[in-house]
Structure 1
Amino acid sequence: MIRYSLRCAQSHDFESWFQSASGFETLATAGQLACPVCGDTSIAKTLMAPAVRPARKAGETAKLSDPQSETEAALAQMRAHVEANSDYVGVNFAAEARRMHEGEIDQRSIYGEAKPEEALALMEDGVPVAPLPFLPTRKAN
């Protein structure tokens, strides 16, 4: 997709997106482009500045996994805290939480995965659970 700044013969400026540069040319020569203000079909591209991000400072590197905002940083900090202070029980979360609630095993901080209906059943039975705003880290082969 490409965005062009355009102007009609009546000097109305507007922008539009096109599948490609040739897509713009095809529509323009067929008279299928029209000014959204006056309906004129005599449309031409105008000068536009490209959207360019400022260069990174020397030595500065960014990874896709680095937090890009304060919210992402807070979530990363929360995830680190949960992972450092809780046991990951995987898909056995609902069973483990229920066993702790019923006194069958010792209380401890756990996190894992549960189907929505399992989580709802735990809450209905008074088991204190809460969803986490991130997915557990899974190891890939």
Structure 2
Amino acid sequence: MIQYSLKCEQGHSFDSWFQSASAFDKLQAAGHVACAVCGSADVKKALMAPRVTASDKAAEEPASPQQPLSAPANPAEQAIAEMKAHVEANSDYVGGDFAQEARAMHLGDVPERSIWGEARGDEAKALIEEGIPVAPLPFTPTRKSN
């Protein structure tokens, strides 16, 4: 795994992990690397400083983290955390039934409400083609059921 510092055309900086340098190159060439803040696909590697230890003793001792792992590390992560909290507090998680629930609401078979969940790529594409408004979320569920 390799971590890159990335920057989009709008100047947003963010980090992302990739399986390898060539995996990054393939994903970027295919347009699958997007800004975590604005969604722009015009993303470049940013200048990064190598991680170098000053002595053998420093290499043996694990570095103390600057923040707990669960705390957002930058404004983009903070915005995503706030969005996740808002979505979880103000909508119903329907899990893998997302496509069926969204379609049923669109057709008027069930009352409209705010929902979120999981859908396969082909299911999401079909919803869009049917004119059902959906959008991907930049996070995974905290829990798998209500």
TM-score category of the 2 structures, normalised to the smaller one: 0.5 to 0.7
Change (3 A) 1:117 1:50: same
- Deviating beyond 6 angstroms after TM superposition, the runs of 4 or more aligned structure 1 residues are none
1:131 matched to 2:136? The reply is: yes
| Partner of residue 50, structure 1 | 54
Picking from 94, 101, 124, the partner of 2:99 is 94
**Partner Cα distance (2:72, 2:122) in 1:** 32
Rounded to whole Å, the distance in 2 between the matches of 1:112 and 1:49 is 43
**Structure 1 counterpart of 2:86:** 81
Match of 2:5 in 1: none
Percentage identity across paired residues of the two chains: 57
Deviations 1:68-90 (A, max 9, x none): 11110000000001111100000
* C-alpha separation in 2, matches of 1:127 and 1:97: 7
1:64 paired residue among 34, 54, 69? 69
The match for 1:44 is none
Given the superposition, is the C-alpha separation of residues 96 and 63 from structure 1 closer, same or farther in structure 2, using an over 3 Å criterion? same
Distance 1:136 1:120 in 2: 21
116, 119, 139: which is aligned to 2:124? Answer: 119
Matched residue SS, 1:89: strand
Q: CA deviation at 1:62?
A: 3.1
CA distance in structure 2 between the aligned counterparts of 1:138 and 1:87, rounded to whole angstroms? 12
Aligned-residue offset at 1:50: 2.0
Secondary structure in 2 matching 1:128:
coil
Segment of structure 1 superposing worse, 62-71 or 110-119: 62-71
**In 2, distance between residues paired with 1:125 and 1:83?**
26
3-state SS in 2 of match to 1:121 = helix
Using the size of structure 2 for normalisation, the TM-score is 0.54
Aligned pair count reads 87
Bigger Rg, which one: 1
